Each structure stands twice: as C-alpha cells, then as structure tokens.
Chain A
C-alpha cells in the first residue's frame, strides 16, 4: 500500500520538492546582503531601549537597499519596488497558499479520481480494506502536505529572522506586512501553517469523497478554504483567548485620527507597557469610563469644521491635547504579546482537530456508505 501511494504520488512529490528548492535558492541568493546589513546596522547586538530606534532604522535601510550592493538600481524591478520587501511578502504568500494548493491538487483528487475513473473498484478489490487504503493514503499524502507548508515556513523564518525581530521590537515599517499578529503574518508564522495544511488537505479529501468528481471538488475546496482564511482572523482568532483591557492617556497610545468627522476614528496604535500587543479595538472614553461618541465643542473648534479641515488646517496633535484636557482617555482591548504562542497553539489545535474530524468522517463514509 505504501508502494502504491508513493507510485501514484511521485510526480506531485517531485513538483513540491522543486518548488521548495526554487524558493530556497531565491532566499539563499538574497540572504547574505540582508545578514550583513543586520550585522553592520548595530541592531543585531542592541540592548534595551535603544532597540526600537535601531529596529526602525534597520527596516528603513533594508527597504531602501539596492540589491546585491550594485551601484545601479536593480533593473529587473520597477522603480520604487524593493527586492527584500518583495521576497518577504512572496514568502508569506507561499506559506499561506501552500495549504490551499495541497488541499486542492492533492486532497480533492485523492478519492474523487478513484470514483471518476472507476479505478476505486480495482484498488478496493485487492486484499486490502478500504479503511487501510485510506489510512495509508491520508497519512502519507497528508504528512507530505504538512511538510511542504512547514518547509516554506521554516525557510522563510530563517531568512526573515532579522526582519521579524525588528518588527517584534516595534520597528514600524508598514511595507513589511505589519506585526506578527497581523492576519497574514500570524497565519504564516509559528506553527499555524501546520494546522492550515492538515485542514486544507482533509477538506479536499472530504470534498472529493462527497462530490466524487475532481474538478468541482477542487473548486469547493478552494472556496471553503479561502472563506476559512478570512473568517478565522476576523471573527474567531480575537476571541480564542480572553482579551485584556486598559485605559491610558491618548498620547501614550499613539492614538491617531484617520479623519476629523468623529471621535470614533481615534484609534490606538500602541498599548503602554505592552510592546507588540495585538490591538483588537480602541476608542476614547470620558473620566467615568463611558465611550465618547462626539467631539466636545471646544475641541471640534480646534479641529475646525469637520468637512472643511480635511486634516490640513488643524494639527491632529492639538485635537488630541484638547481631548486630554477634557479628561478624555483612550480605552484599548488587546491581546498581549505573551498571548502569541497560546494563540498559535489554540488555532493550530483547532485546525488539527477539524482535520481529524474530517478524516474520521471520510473513514465512516467510505466504509459504511458506499464506494
């Protein structure tokens, strides 16, 4: 059974290894300059409070670096594009897409093809039960799917270690896809890719078993997986662990206005004393802790007429000072940085349990129902 699984999986395995190898080459070629910048930036050996500034500087230098140290701009890339930002982002995308690819191209046809071509009636009539056939197929192909995704994830983690450290320490350069809690980065970091890979694969197998035709099963797998990748960070991940709450001075939270039309747009970008925290929601509150929904008249005057000002006449800082003078503070709900690994574990466990549940369903359906 192991031989048959390998024989049927050979071509896909070669493709996967080739993709990993290409990615590894891309990273290996670009890594030396990244590493030397890291070493010479002074950020590598920084201690304590100086780090945030150095991290910022490092990311800034990196995003303006001319690839391979050449005197000329790297002509392959359009003006304004930076090789390191592109490689970093592409790496993240690979990690996010790999579970969908393996689910669609390895998972969905696994059983569907056997039905479609009738070969199931050949294989399932050898002296091997369908349950054993499915066990070996799921275990080997599923493990390969997880290994590929994890391979991308490990390569990326190695290459991007200085960037990740700089981001964790508060270096804020938005081109590097935000903090490690941001939707894309979280799902592509830590151990979460393993959970996504297992789930995507099991989802594909189940869709193939129920639909019995490979192409529609592939489409369904892709649709459901994409939906899960949207639903998880937006509606589920923030609630996996109880969030912390704090109220702090507006200035301390680096709260900024995105417009002047109302106070609800005053959003915090940092939690005092909690570097790297994931801010779920924030808004101004009065001295009694009640949410403030409209600007006090005096501050509105400072801001100028909401429509006319357009952010040009009044400095946002003066509005913030005015609000502070009225006893208005900023309330923040957040997941502290220390919740990163518990959240990773919880999310990965959820997807592994879902994957096992789907696999169990496949066993039951294939064995009890029909083939």
Chain B
C-alpha cells in the first residue's frame, strides 16, 4: 500500500533560517496522524510542503504516491484545512459550497449540504460573520466535500473555545469513521490529539524527534524510578530520553527494546503526554547545549 506521506531528507529554509530540517518520514495509510510540536517547530511548514503550498529547499516529499499539487488529480486527492480556517468573508456559506462544487469534479453536494444542515449554518450568511467554530466547520465541509483520500488539518482547533474544540474533534472522528479517509492533523497541544490519533509525529526544533503508531510508541517507552544513578550506566538497548534527579532518587524516561530486568528500578507505563513532553524537552536541551557551545567559542 502506498504511504500517505513519504518524505526523504526534506528541508525548507526561509531567508536563511531553517524551518524544517532533514525530515525523513513514512506515514502508512489507514491512520489518524497527529503532528505535535510547539509553535514554530515546523508543523505548518511540513503541512504546506505536503499540500504543495511550498516547494522544498532540500529533499523530496510524495503524498499518496504523487508530487504535491502536481495537477488537478493530485489536488483532488488531498483536502487541506489551513491554519485559522481561511474563508472569503464577503462570500456566503452557500457561495462557498458553490465554490467547492465548481472547483472540484468529485464534489459531493449532498454530503456538504447535510453537514451545513446539521451544523445549523444559515446558507445565506456571509462567512465573515460566522464564529470561529462555524468558520472552521465551513472550511472543513469544503475540504470534505471534495471527497479527498487524505485530509490535512493545520491546527484546526487552536482558535476554538474548549466546547467548540471538543465538538469539532468529535464531528471529525465521526466523519473519519464514515468516510474512511486518512487524516493528518497538527496541534501544539497533545491533549487535543490524544483522544483522536493513533499515529504520532513529534516535531521540535524544526526536526522530527520521533514518529510511529501510538501503541508502539507507548510500548517502547518506560518510566524508571529508583536510587540515584548516572544516566550513562544503563544496560545496552536502553536510551534515556529525559531524566530528573534528586539527591537520592533518579527518574528516567527511557526507550527500551526489551523488558527492564534490573530489580533496582520501579518500572511504570508512560502516558502519551509525558512521552511527547520528554522528546520536546530533549530537543530544547540540545538546542540550549548548542548555544552554550557557541558561547564558549566566542
């Protein structure tokens, strides 16, 4: 089966600053993929590269086996709900549906109308007068109406209040179940993604820190706590992602290939949020060390 997103050495530089570096990814089909990272980590850049809104500086990216935005057929396969859910403020809800119908040969008008009905949106209302949540829903309806194989959502809930956030994600999940569509959605909050994603990509410091199915990621990581000890003195097959130490005790989040046999450690499962935070912290630490090196040199 073709990978949904296949990236090889992908990088993007803006005016001398790398927004995304050396990104190699292969996201298999059939998942709801969460892309998580702090603001400025490179999430939007990666998604804009995947939709062909940007051209890569280095490397290659293929989406559903084709170059992003290469032609009408490729465009038809990918639905994109861009950050802040852009819509034309001067056009009505009905106008937007008409736009979708005119510009997409595969437009599913009954689906779009049903959604607008269910959401209780007045078709005559100008899009500029909709609430943030309604606007996001309208933009999602446009993205879904073209019947894409892959739906990409960039921070779809960032500007919504907690209730609208929950409703939006719930609606999204129901749609996924009905339409059998691949989904990639990004957020800077793991709590948004936790409930809906079964595949996770962690971006930090413009690099992919880790990527994989959520259950495999959870299974491969352990939280160890025990008497204080140096991080270097761990058995082979174990890498420390993050550690915290008090005078007497060490707590380590490790990636372990096999079971942890040392009886000195108390071993426990890792939550997704802790896991993601540990990788973000690790990347931030690396960034800081880098700066320290520079300071030492000057």
List chain A positions with a Cβ less than 8 A from chain B: 1, 3-4, 7-8, 117-130, 132, 368-371
- Give complex CA distance A117, B82 in Å: 12
- Give complex CA distance A52, B113 in Å: 73
- Give complex CA distance A132, B104 in Å: 13
* CB–CB B53/A124 < 8 A: yes
Q: Which 3 A-B pairs have the closest CB atoms?
A: A126-B103, A118-B86, A121-B82
Known: A7-B91, A122-B139, A370-B53. Is A127-B86 also a contact (CB below 8 A)?
A: no
Contacting residues, chain A, for B88 (C-beta < 8 A): 8, 117, 119, 122
Contacting residues, chain B, for A124 (C-beta < 8 A): 53, 69
- Give complex CA distance A132, B102 in Å: 13
- Give complex CA distance A369, B57 in Å: 10
0/1 per residue, B5-23, Cβ < 8 Å to A? 0000000000000000000
Chain A residue nearest to B139 (CB atoms) is A122
18 contacts between A and B (CB under 8 A): A7-B95, A8-B88, A8-B91, A117-B89, A118-B83, A121-B51, A122-B82, A122-B88, A122-B139, A123-B103, A126-B99, A126-B104, A127-B75, A129-B69, A129-B72, A129-B75, A368-B55, A371-B52
Contacting residues, chain B, for A368 (C-beta < 8 A): 55
* CB–CB A371/B53 < 8 A: yes
List chain B positions with a Cβ less than 8 A from chain A: 48, 51-55, 69, 71-73, 75-76, 78-80, 82-84, 86-91, 95, 98-100, 102-106, 139, 142-143, 146
* CB–CB B103/A4 < 8 A: yes
- Give complex CA distance A126, B142 in Å: 9
* CB–CB A370/B54 < 8 A: yes
Question: Closest approach, in angstroms, between the C-beta of A192 and any C-beta of chain B?
Answer: 35
Given contacts A125-B53, A125-B78, 10 further A-B contacts (CB under 8 A): A3-B102, A7-B95, A7-B99, A8-B90, A126-B99, A126-B103, A127-B73, A368-B55, A370-B55, A371-B53
Contacting residues, chain A, for B106 (C-beta < 8 A): 127
* CB–CB B82/A4 < 8 A: no
- Give complex CA distance A7, B146 in Å: 20
Known: A121-B53, A369-B55. Is A128-B103 also a contact (CB below 8 A)?
A: yes
Question: Closest approach, in angstroms, between the C-beta of B251 and any C-beta of chain A?
Answer: 43
* CB–CB B75/A125 < 8 A: yes
- Give complex CA distance A96, B110 in Å: 50
- Give complex CA distance A253, B226 in Å: 110
Known: A1-B103, A7-B95. Is A119-B69 also a contact (CB below 8 A)?
A: no
Chain A residue nearest to B91 (CB atoms) is A7
- Give complex CA distance A167, B184 in Å: 71
- Give complex CA distance A126, B143 in Å: 8
- Give complex CA distance A126, B54 in Å: 16
Chain A residue nearest to B95 (CB atoms) is A7
Chain B residue nearest to A2 (CB atoms) is B102
Chain B residue nearest to A124 (CB atoms) is B53
- Give complex CA distance A369, B87 in Å: 23
Contacting residues, chain A, for B54 (C-beta < 8 A): 370-371
- Give complex CA distance A126, B146 in Å: 8
Contacting residues, chain A, for B75 (C-beta < 8 A): 125-129
Contacting residues, chain B, for A122 (C-beta < 8 A): 82, 86-88, 139, 142
Chain A residue nearest to B99 (CB atoms) is A4
Question: Closest approach, in angstroms, between the C-beta of A134 and any C-beta of chain B?
Answer: 13
- Give complex CA distance A174, B100 in Å: 58
Contacting residues, chain A, for B105 (C-beta < 8 A): 127
Contacting residues, chain A, for B80 (C-beta < 8 A): 121, 125
Question: Closest approach, in angstroms, between the C-beta of B111 and any C-beta of chain A?
Answer: 16
- Give complex CA distance A119, B135 in Å: 12
Question: Closest approach, in angstroms, between the C-beta of A115 and any C-beta of chain B?
Answer: 10
Contacting residues, chain B, for A125 (C-beta < 8 A): 51, 53, 75, 78-80, 82, 143
- Give complex CA distance A118, B80 in Å: 13
* CB–CB A127/B146 < 8 A: yes
- Give complex CA distance A121, B154 in Å: 11
Question: Closest approach, in angstroms, between the C-beta of B93 and any C-beta of chain A?
Answer: 14
* CB–CB B87/A127 < 8 A: no
- Give complex CA distance A300, B283 in Å: 90
- Give complex CA distance A58, B75 in Å: 66
* CB–CB B98/A119 < 8 A: no
Contact of A3 among B51, B55, B90, B98 (CB under 8 A): B98
Chain A residue nearest to B76 (CB atoms) is A127
- Give complex CA distance A121, B68 in Å: 13
Chain A residue nearest to B51 (CB atoms) is A125
Contacting residues, chain A, for B48 (C-beta < 8 A): 121
Question: Closest approach, in angstroms, between the C-beta of A123 and any C-beta of chain B?
Answer: 8
Chain B residue nearest to A132 (CB atoms) is B72
- Give complex CA distance A117, B84 in Å: 10
- Give complex CA distance A82, B146 in Å: 62
Contacting residues, chain B, for A123 (C-beta < 8 A): 99, 103
Chain B residue nearest to A128 (CB atoms) is B103
- Give complex CA distance A130, B106 in Å: 18
Chain A residue nearest to B142 (CB atoms) is A122
